[in-house]
Structure 1
Amino acid sequence: MSDPAMFPSVTPRHALPLLFTSQAQKEVFHNEALARIDALLHAAVEGKIDTPPADAESGRAWLVGSAPTGAWIGHENEIALRQSGQWIFATPVAGLRIFDLAAKQFVVFTDAWQKADAVAEPTGGLTVDSEARAAIGALLLALRAASVLPSV
């Protein structure tokens, strides 16, 4: 069993608030944890932007860009979740994978958000092998359909 005196106030990976014995207003901390879980479990964001959208609906999330403005200042590369009229921010951890709805592909966090580059379909050349081109084209379609590569 953990030593209560040494127990942290948040979880190490996603900073989910932890509850303590005799803690007042536990529902506030519990609701904060649920909001973060809602944003990070099977995560999807609307896109990556620097300015908070004025008409953001609760439950929608964005990746904060490298030059944030307004309520997002100081939250570069974080995940901004709109919840009950407030912004909740989550700091990404290495290996976090999120689906970017605008780009229609997954992005992965290392030191910054990374996404796969588009792969050009084969063209030209002196010798054209139609079967190879068809196979490569089918592979590219499958990778795009699986959101491994971005849509063109």
Structure 2
Amino acid sequence: MDGTARLALPLIAPGQAQKEMTHNEALALIDLAVQAGVTAARVDAPPATPVIGECWIVGDAPEGAWAGQAGALAGWTAGGWRFVAPREGMSVWSAGDTMAWTFRAGLWRRGELRGLSLRVNGRQVVGAQAAAIAAPSGGATVDAEARATLSAVLAALRGHGLIDT
């Protein structure tokens, strides 16, 4: 086995000479992948003057030194470009758009959050989608303005996915 199963980090072979080379390469890749932060996402061309430690999510049509690295994390190091292939569930903070990017189902997705509920100060403010609510109809006294308002509220709740359609 040449590398680790998840991040393909190089492994030191028994009896290997210059073990520090393999070890340092693994550390450089870990530095890119763990608690990753990028300058920007979906960039196809490497910057002309990168700074050591800067990192990008490579776009779908990479060119130059990034050719063949679509979707990878590209980081500039003292030894040149290093690439880390994304893994399912990997998250990266992008300073360029101040959003989290998550790799899911083979694609980098910007700003998508997943969960069962949203809590603010310990109080649930959004939970699972509620059942459908029928639009107002019938009744002895029909108030057109009230019905229009209720219909608008229900449409907004449906539009945000908070209640079923």
Q: Normalising to structure 1: TM-score of the pair?
A: 0.70
Q: Where does residue 139 of structure 2 map in the other structure?
A: none
| Unaligned segments of structure 1, at least 5 residues | 1-7, 118-125, 133-152
Q: What letter matches 1:63 in structure 2? A: I
| Unaligned segments of structure 2, at least 5 residues | 113-147, 154-165
| SS at 1:38 equivalent | helix
Q: By percentage of residues, which structure has more strand?
A: 2
Candidates 84, 92, 99, aligned match of 2:78: 84
CA–CA separation in structure 2 for the residues paired with 1:85 and 1:62: 17
Q: Where does residue 51 of structure 1 map in the other structure?
A: 45
Compared with structure 1, are the counterparts of its residues 101 and 93 closer, same or farther at alpha carbon in structure 2 (3 Å cutoff)?
same
Corresponding position: 1:115 with 2:129: no
CA–CA separation in structure 2 for the residues paired with 1:69 and 1:15: 23
Corresponding position: 1:23 with 2:39: no
Structure number with greater Rg is 2
Q: What letter matches 1:14 in structure 2? A: L
Q: Where does residue 97 of structure 1 map in the other structure?
A: 91
Q: Where does residue 67 of structure 1 map in the other structure?
A: 61
* Same amino acid, percent of matched pairs: 39
Deviations 1:94-127 (A, max 9, x none): 110111111101111120101136xxxxxxxx64
Count residues with an aligned counterpart.
Answer: 114
Q: CA deviation at 1:21?
A: 1.8
CA–CA separation in structure 1 for the residues paired with 2:54 and 2:87: 20
CA–CA separation in structure 2 for the residues paired with 1:79 and 1:116: 17
Q: Normalising to structure 2: TM-score of the pair?
A: 0.65
